[in-house]
Chain A
Amino acid sequence: MIPTTTTPPTAGPRTSYLDVPPRPAGRWKPWAALAVVVLLTAATLGPWAIGFDADAIARNWRNGADRILKLLSPDWSFFPRTVEPMLETLQMAVVATVVGAAVSLPVSLWAARPTNPNVWTRGAVRCALNVVRAVPELLYVAVLVAMVGVGALPGVIALVLFNTGIIVKMVSETVDGSDRGPLEAGRAAGGTQSQINRTIALPDMLPSFVNQTLYVLELNVRASAVLGLVGAGGLGLLVDAVRTYYRYDQLSLIILEILVAVLVIDLVSSIVRRRLV
């Protein structure tokens, strides 16, 4: 390196001497967007809209307070009866996560532009995924129960669809935003798109993939508790039963158990993430 001597810049702010370019127009746009949101909210609160009135809270506060008291005193003796449904819920969550992740891995690559340059197949994959994501998992279960019967199976299938929708969306967006340079190197070396995806795109997308997979595992524990309400087995069936008998003390124990399960999964996944990513 050749050392160069440069004259130090003159000190002090001298803005008035600087030819600062004019600030670009269009600063009002975010404010306009905010105004639209505020107006829409105001419109939905009007008397012609869905009609929720905050009065109901005041009118029924005695009922509500009673329920809250019961929720605050869990019925610990109910624990043995929750063990088996809890295990079933965890099983459903794990199986659905594994299957969903396995399906999502190749589909994520097919849904992202750098790893699938073909407009038509990419469009088809994305379109199918939009449909999958648009249907709520409760609706999947409701339909699937009619097709394959009550139990864990419709729940698992619904969760797999739900998981695939989430993982593919998040991971393929990460791939979309990734550096194209390494993929170009694979192309320059004469690889097919599948070869390039396997050797170059896959290692770089793995952290995002692992993150999303751990996240849906957590979602699944919570979701499978709800899916039981419409016949998908696990804790949800039990929730439905105790709710029907107004056993809020038992319900609160179930909620506590779900909380513990979610916390444990969160702990485990943060450990895994630290080691893998």
Chain B
Amino acid sequence: MTVAPQQVTSRSWPVRVRDVTVRYPGGVTALDGVTLDIEAGEMVSIVGLSGSGKSTLVRTINGLVPVTSGSVVVGEHTLSTLSGRQARAVRGSIGMIFQGFNLAKRTTVLNNVLVGRLAHTPTWRTLLGAYTAADKQIAFEALDRVGILEKTWHRASALSGGQQQRVAIARALTQEPRIVLADEPVASLDPPSAHAVMGDLRRINTELGITVLTNLHLLDLAREYGTRMIGLRAGKVVYDGPAATASDAVFEEIYGRSIRQQDVLGG
């Protein structure tokens, strides 16, 4: 099950964000002139209060949110220049993990994980539900990596929150991704599950060499699980530096207020 890290590292992608502004139809400016360079294989925590633009930022990186101005380059692909088909292919190489897990609750864990193969599967095969043995093998390996292979045939809704998030991580891994984006992946979890999920994300980064970007609002998690930290406030980058040494003063600067009890997970 172990893959030589250096072999996979070459497959992971860097992200270049150039002067990106995102303005929603309602007139809200979610990102305001953001420029970032994230190298292949980095483990980045993106920190900010809700409404600071974190969710929008990760969604511009896989093209779910189009930029109003500026450019996003992932690997060698400039997102705004892609056709629909090319954009789907690029998204197929970028795994995404959500706060609410976003599983199809009434179907099996395996079917959920196989969603990660959609971009690599012809539509007719999907419609017939005829997944190839190779795709299923990839799905089983991903489930094994996050330690819930024995839940393969369970209904997603029968799993605990922590287990559901691991299914979601397995779904992302099944994409054989070059980048993994996680949008507040532990905000709905209890502290032990939160640490387990963050540990899984770290292993994806260290063992597979995949670039991982994680949105967080808890400062201890951001310090512990990121090598680099980016602070967002009102759509602007207000901090970009090492995560482990970011002091409380840095967080107060990012949040624009003093640190409180609820900014720490503990556990």
**A residues within 8 Å of B by Cβ?**
1-2, 4, 179, 181-182, 184-192, 194-196, 198-200, 203-204, 206-207
Interface contact B94-A188, CB-CB below 8 Å: yes
Interface contact A185-B126, CB-CB below 8 Å: no
Q: Note all chain A residues with C-beta closer than 8 A to B64.
A: 184, 187-188
Interface contact A191-B106, CB-CB below 8 Å: no
14 chain-A/chain-B pairs, Cβ below 8 angstroms: A179-B100, A182-B105, A185-B98, A185-B115, A185-B171, A187-B64, A189-B91, A189-B96, A190-B89, A192-B88, A194-B126, A195-B121, A199-B118, A200-B104
Q: Mark B89-102, 1 if CB is under 8 A from A, else 0.
A: 11111111010111
Q: Contacts A181-B98, A200-B104, A206-B106 given: A189-B119 contact, CB under 8 Å?
A: yes
Closest B residue to A184 by beta carbon equals B102
B45 within 8 A of A: no
Q: Which of B105, B107, B111, B115 has the most chain A CB within a 10 Å cutoff?
A: B115
Other than A2-B266, A195-B126, give 8 A-B pairs with Cβ distance below 8 A.
A1-B266, A186-B115, A189-B91, A189-B96, A194-B126, A198-B129, A199-B107, A203-B111
B71 within 8 A of A: no
Q: Note all chain B residues with C-beta closer than 8 A to A189.
A: 91-92, 95-96, 115-116, 118-119, 171-172, 175
Interface contact A188-B96, CB-CB below 8 Å: yes
Q: Note all chain B residues with C-beta closer than 8 A to A196.
A: 118
Interface contact A181-B102, CB-CB below 8 Å: yes
B127 within 8 A of A: yes
Instruction: State in angstroms the CA–CA spacing of A199 and B103 once bound together.
Output: 10
Closest A residue to B177 by beta carbon equals A189
Number of interface residues of B (CB under 8 A): 40
Instruction: State in angstroms the CA–CA spacing of A4 and B94 once bound together.
Output: 40
B114 within 8 A of A: yes
**Whole-angstrom distance from the CB of B90 to the nearest CB of chain A?**
7
B56 within 8 A of A: no
B261 within 8 A of A: yes
Q: Note all chain B residues with C-beta closer than 8 A to A194.
A: 123, 126-127
B204 within 8 A of A: no
Interface contact A204-B171, CB-CB below 8 Å: no
Interface contact B127-A198, CB-CB below 8 Å: yes
Interface contact B106-A182, CB-CB below 8 Å: no
Interface contact B98-A186, CB-CB below 8 Å: no
Instruction: State in angstroms the CA–CA spacing of A145 and B119 once bound together.
Output: 49
Interface contact A204-B105, CB-CB below 8 Å: yes
**Whole-angstrom distance from the CB of B194 to the nearest CB of chain A?**
11
Q: Note all chain A residues with C-beta closer than 8 A to B168.
A: 185
B62 within 8 A of A: yes
Q: Note all chain A residues with C-beta closer than 8 A to B116.
A: 189
**Whole-angstrom distance from the CB of A204 to the nearest CB of chain B?**
5
Q: Which 3 A-B pairs have the closest CB atoms?
A: A190-B119, A190-B92, A191-B118
Instruction: State in angstroms the CA–CA spacing of A187 and B95 once bound together.
Output: 11
B191 within 8 A of A: yes
Interface residue from B91, B106, B267 paired with A190 (Cβ < 8 Å): B91
Instruction: State in angstroms the CA–CA spacing of A146 and B168 once bound together.
Output: 57
Interface contact B62-A182, CB-CB below 8 Å: no
Interface residue from A1, A195, A200 paired with B123 (Cβ < 8 Å): A195
Instruction: State in angstroms the CA–CA spacing of A203 and B96 once bound together.
Output: 21
Q: Note all chain A residues with C-beta closer than 8 A to B126.
A: 191, 194-195, 198-199
Interface residue from A1, A4, A181 paired with B100 (Cβ < 8 Å): A181
Q: Note all chain B residues with C-beta closer than 8 A to A184.
A: 64, 98, 102
Q: Mark B151-167, 1 if CB is under 8 A from A, else 0.
A: 00000000000000000
Instruction: State in angstroms the CA–CA spacing of A185 and B104 once bound together.
Output: 9
Q: Note all chain B residues with C-beta closer than 8 A to A200.
A: 104, 115
Interface contact A185-B88, CB-CB below 8 Å: no
**Whole-angstrom distance from the CB of B99 to the nearest CB of chain A?**
9
Interface contact A192-B123, CB-CB below 8 Å: yes
Q: Which of A187, A189, A203 has the most chain B CB within a 10 Å cutoff?
A: A189
